[in-house]
A and B are shown apart, each in its own frame.
Chain A
């Protein structure tokens, strides 16, 4: 029998005694040992701890005390999430000597659900970047092509799940850092509604736009993980079928700057959705052109406030690019930050309006396929565009407004690099969004490769 591919499948196999948590954890550790040197996905591997947690999970199952669908499931954590007794590096030399005094709330919840923590994954330093290149531990690399970035900032998390080093990873998303690498690596990634999942014990980037969420291999897995992370009883919305689902397609600004391969895969996916009976109509965000300036004037000063002391006293410990971006935030005037907060309310109203009469908003997740490591610009439609700006372009809106958004694989480019479709839902209606995404998933694309 083939190894279970998803958490849902693994949970059934564990509950039925077809595999043990110890064996599953060992296979993940073997995958890490075999591939981490080339992909640089993990900053720290918690092998002994994972083996001990897996043995405990097996003993509990044998005693009839299975705790639920995550029981015995190997999971990785982006290394800006605190695990008691382990360094939280945030991929920065600034954090040298740090040891977490306690678990982040999300880690406590994962442990209570019986998950096995296999290690902590590489990221763009302090989550301030989209490629994972600026890391004190060197860049994480794309599983399908190591000359490319897996996306970021949760790049190591995506690489770990795509290569079976873990069944899922917990990432953070301030401008797209769960959805961008998930899309680039052919995974499902959920940015929940702002505030739905606690961020305490997670190194902040932008306190009003930080989100914590799952990166995994199916929408069903995202639902299982989300239920545990939010710490409340499961709130699954009724299952739906694709026929009759209504989606608002965001075109204009959102489709104006797309790589041809991404555009082709996305349009093909839209055609498959229509053939399945999904009703797609165009909607707009009137002030979409202001998204990037609003985002910049919130994220940079909020990040600069957190880093102000270390920028003064340990500036050389940052990577050069991240230091410069943090320094930018120190020059933004308070009046412009307030203007951006006003802009946030405008965009929030416009997203709410676009959602009226539809079940979700549909747009690509990432305008380009995984970029080459070291590339500063990417050529789209005859012009050279900055990689960072392009990669944030389609995701940052929902960090500003707080609406939940999920990326689901929707095909590949001619180079066989994954492409993701993004679906956004109403504030607080994460379960409804997941139900829609689950219904659409089989029609969007083939899912992640193994």
Chain B
């Protein structure tokens, strides 16, 4: 699931559960998740390094 789609679903669910105050926290979490996924040590199934990632 992409982070954009994940965030959209998470905010919708939080609103449905009466937790609109979660939105800014989820947005911050999405930024952290993006950093996590882009870290250089992540493996991917192609076996090749993704050039977007750091060293």
A residues within 8 Å of B by Cβ?
286-287, 289-290, 292-294, 296-297, 300, 320, 324-325, 327-328, 331-333, 336, 339-340, 342-343, 346
Contact = CB atoms under 8 A, between A and B. Distances in A.
Interface residues on B, range: 20 to 34
B41 A331 contact: no
B4 to A, nearest CB: 14
B49 interface: no
Interface string B26-42: 10010011011101111
A339 to B, nearest CB: 5
B42 to A, nearest CB: 6
A331 B32 contact: no
Contacts of A294: 36
Please name the 5 residue pairs, one residue from A and one from B, whose CB atoms are nearest each other, closest first. A293-B32, A293-B36, A293-B35, A346-B41, A331-B10
Contact of B22 (A292, A324, A340): A324
A294 B10 CA distance: 20
Interface of B: 1, 6, 10, 13-14, 19, 21-22, 25-26, 29, 32-33, 35-37, 39-43, 55
Given A297-B33, A333-B1, A336-B36, A325 B41 contact: no
Among B25, B37, B39, B42, max chain A CB count under 10 A is at B39
A147 to B, nearest CB: 26
B39 A336 contact: no
Interface class of chain B by DSSP:
helix
A206 to B, nearest CB: 16
B26 to A, nearest CB: 6
Contacts of A343: 36, 39, 41
Contacts of A328: 22, 25-26, 29
B39 A327 contact: no
Contacts of A293: 32-33, 35-36, 39
Contacts of A339: 36-37, 39, 42
Contacts of A336: 33, 36-37
Contacts of B41: 287, 342-343, 346
A164 to B, nearest CB: 39
A290 B1 CA distance: 21
Contacts of A331: 6, 10, 13-14, 26, 29
Among A325, A336, A343, A346, max chain B CB count under 10 A is at A336
Contacts of B55: 286
26 contacts: A290-B35, A290-B36, A292-B32, A293-B35, A296-B29, A297-B32, A300-B29, A324-B19, A324-B22, A324-B25, A325-B25, A327-B22, A328-B22, A328-B25, A328-B29, A332-B33, A336-B33, A336-B37, A339-B36, A339-B39, A339-B42, A340-B36, A342-B42, A342-B43, A343-B39, A346-B39
Nearest to B42: A339
Contacts of A287: 39-41
B24 to A, nearest CB: 10
B12 to A, nearest CB: 11
A339 B33 CA distance: 10
A300 B36 CA distance: 14
